[in-house]
């Protein structure tokens, strides 16, 4: 009987657990470890953060789902991984605070990110200055502070709301974009838009970069870039963009930054929601003798090294799409796989830049949402292959992967909107697509309108159905 342990139950880990349970749960031992008792549908936290959705509607309990699939569940944190002896250990977080140990034949690390607020002094809810929508508690805090700003505007005060990224190496610009456009729509609905200044502060070199080097698409024969696409929306909404900013501190209602030209500046705010840098979670990797073997498992950013080719220059990486991982397996410990944000990409997708003083202005590659789900499925099916056949048969590089993003720009099904973006491949492949973007211009597409708002709400409902393993879950794509 094979023993499989999955650490983390976000999009990647939970998707992997469903496939493992479906294929192996009756005959083998599959166990998921997750710090929360609930799955959280992170994309809808943007609505929680403005008070348009109760946080409970973004969650469901994991244990009942796993019971139906024959999967064990431990609510807890993993503190140590022992890859030579193949076990993990940690403590439960279900109120008992008890130690646990799980032996494994195959380990999937899908921990999601560490929210590295500490990388920017003064950033984050703990510091009490800026807010986040990265977790349900954070989204509730952001909602409450945002509603306080609404109250001030109703009393005649003017408010400056700054939304974006809080570190030069941050990712997840799409979440910040969704949040600021939903804030705009809500302010209009509340009748106080004329008393609000909206500022989009980002480490993207230009709007619409998204950490994927931007997009070029053709709509009805007209060439459009993602920079033009987002800029048009911001002009319509009266949102002031501040791009190419490397935020390095927050203090006293001011965000301090340096831009690519070397200008040092500050952006004042009354309310700010800034996405932090993401790194790998803090776990120890210990060898048979108790020594540290983390250099064989993770990168300096604590992300799990897999079967990509690391150390290439940006230009070398652009010329070699096969440098991106295919099966997400650690080269030193083949029993360890990584999925979602937990795996270390071989390099950036957007051209890395830095300020004259050396601060990064380099959006990190996105590995959330659809990308996480796809990788979770690929990893799970390869583990199934290893258990049942002794060899892996599935692979999918991000240079072969398509992704759809529907960015809410107002959740109303009457007058809301959403930007619908389809990209293929996620990482440009100039070898297969020798054009300016390195992407398939027939598939890559951008469009905005009310239909997108309906699609966004439908996807929330559909994925909450899929991720609870309900009837037909496998026919709904990741």
DSSP 230: H
Whole-model pTM?
A: 0.96
pLDDT of 350-391, one tens digit each?
A: 999 999 999 999 999 999 889 999 999 999 999 999 999 999
In a domain, 362, yes or no: yes
pLDDT of 165-182, one tens digit each?
A: 999 999 989 999 999 999
In a domain, 287, yes or no: yes
pLDDT score for 219: 67
Locus of tokens 């166990």? 31
Percent of the chain with pLDDT over 70: 100
pLDDT score for 440: 95
Cβ atoms 10, 110 nearer than 8 A: yes
pLDDT score for 412: 78
In a domain, 9, yes or no: yes
CATH number at residue 30: 3.50.50.60
Q: Which residues pair with 249 in a beta bridge?
A: 256
Query: What is the full DSSP assignment across 358-396?
Result: S-B--PPPP--HHHHHHHHHHHHHHHHHHHHTSS-----
Instruction: Determine the Cα–Cα distance for residues 138 and 242; give it in Å rounded to an integer.
Output: 24
pLDDT interval class at 394 (50, 70, 90): very high
Mean pLDDT of the chain: 95
308's tokens:
């990509």
In a domain, 315, yes or no: yes
Which residues form the domain of 104? 3-114+278-388
- Among 393, 395, 398, 425, which residue's Cα sits nearest to residue 326? 395
- Among 431, 422, 432, 361, which residue's Cα sits nearest to residue 226? 422
> Is residue 88 over pLDDT 70?
yes
Q: Say if strands 87-92 and 71-82 run parallel, antiparallel, or are unpaired.
A: antiparallel
DSSP 36: S
pLDDT of 111-133, one tens digit each?
A: 999 999 999 999 999 999 999 99
- Helix, strand, coil shares of the chain, percent, nearest 5, are 30, 25, 45
- Among 409, 22, 375, which residue's Cα sits nearest to residue 229? 409
pLDDT interval class at 291 (50, 70, 90): very high
pLDDT of 27-51, one tens digit each?
A: 999 999 999 999 999 999 999 999 9
pLDDT score for 408: 83
Residue 453 or residue 430, greater confidence: 430
In a domain, 188, yes or no: no
pLDDT score for 418: 84
pLDDT of 57-68, one tens digit each?
A: 999 999 999 999
Average confidence (pLDDT) over 337-357: 97
Number of domains into which the chain is organized: 1
> Is residue 303 over pLDDT 80?
yes
pLDDT score for 49: 98
How far, in whole angstroms, is CA 107 from its chain's centroid?
Answer: 21
pLDDT of 440-449, one tens digit each?
A: 999 998 888 8
Q: Which residues pair with 266 in a beta bridge?
A: 256
CA terminus-to-terminus distance, the chain: 29
In a domain, 349, yes or no: yes
For residue 168, the SS3 value is coil
Rg, C-alpha atoms of the chain: 22
pLDDT score for 166: 98
In a domain, 400, yes or no: no
pLDDT score for 427: 97
pLDDT of 230-289, one tens digit each?
A: 999 999 999 999 999 999 999 999 999 999 999 999 999 999 999 999 999 999 999 999
Q: Virtual CA dihedral for 374, 375, 377, 378, nearest 10 degrees?
A: 120
pLDDT score for 406: 84
In a domain, 87, yes or no: yes
For residue 298, the SS3 value is strand
Cβ atoms 266, 254 nearer than 8 A: yes
């Amino acid at each position: 009987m094979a023993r499989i342990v999955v650490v983390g139950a976000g999009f990647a880990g939970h998707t992997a657990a469903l496939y493992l349970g479906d294929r192996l749960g009756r005959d083998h031992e599959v166990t998921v470890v997750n710090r929360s008792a609930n799955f959280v549908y992170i994309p809808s936290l943007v609505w929680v953060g403005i008070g348009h959705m109760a946080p409970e509607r973004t969650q469901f309990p994991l244990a009942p789902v796993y019971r139906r699939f024959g999967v064990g569940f431990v609510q807890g944190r993993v503190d140590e991984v022992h890859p030579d002896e193949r076990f993990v250990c940690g403590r439960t977080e279900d109120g008992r605070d008890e130690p646990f140990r799980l032996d494994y034949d195959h380990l999937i690390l899908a921990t999601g990110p560490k929210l590295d607020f500490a990388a920017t002094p003064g950033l984050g809810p703990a510091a009490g200055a800026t807010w986040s929508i990265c977790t349900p508690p954070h989204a509730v805090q952001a909602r409450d502070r945002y509603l306080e700003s609404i109250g001030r505007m109703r009393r005649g005060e003017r408010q400056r709301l700054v939304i974006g990224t809080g570190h030069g190496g941050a990712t997840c610009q799409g979440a910040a974009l969704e949040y600021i456009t939903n804030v705009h729509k809500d302010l209009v609905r509340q009748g106080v838009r004329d008393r609000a200044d909206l500022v989009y502060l980002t480490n993207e070199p230009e709007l619409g970069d998204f950490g994927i080097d931007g997009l070029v698409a053709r709509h009805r024969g007209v060439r459009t870039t993602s920079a033009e696409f987002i800029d048009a929306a911001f002009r319509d909404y009266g949102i002031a963009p501040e791009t190419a900013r490397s935020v390095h501190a927050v203090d006293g209602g001011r965000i301090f930054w340096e831009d690519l030209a070397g200008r040092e500046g500050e952006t004042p705010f009354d309310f700010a929601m800034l996405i932090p840098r993401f790194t790998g979670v803090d776990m120890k990797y210990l060898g048979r003798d108790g020594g540290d073997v983390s250099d064989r498992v993770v990168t300096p950013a604590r992300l799990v090294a897999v079967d990509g080719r690391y150390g290439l220059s940006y230009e070398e990486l652009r010329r070699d799409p096969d440098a991106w991982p295919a099966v997400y397996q650690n080269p030193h410990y083949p029993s360890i796989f990584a999925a979602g944000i937990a795996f270390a990409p071989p390099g950036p997708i957007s051209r890395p830049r830095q300020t004259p003083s050396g601060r990064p202005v380099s959006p990190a590659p996105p590995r959330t949402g659809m990308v996480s789900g796809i990788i979770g499925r690929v990893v799970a099916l390869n583990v199934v292959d290893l258990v049942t056949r002794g060899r892996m048969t599935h692979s999918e590089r991000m240079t072969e992967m398509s992704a759809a993003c529907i960015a809410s720009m107002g959740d109303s099904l009457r007058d809301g909107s959403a930007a619908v973006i389809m990209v293929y491949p996620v990482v440009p492949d100039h070898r297969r697509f020798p054009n300016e973007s390195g992407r398939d211009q027939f598939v890559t597409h951008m469009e905005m309108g009310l239909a997108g708002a309906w699609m966004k709400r439908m996807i929330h409902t559909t994925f909450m159905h899929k991720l609870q393993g309900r009837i037909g879950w496998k026919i709904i794509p990741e």
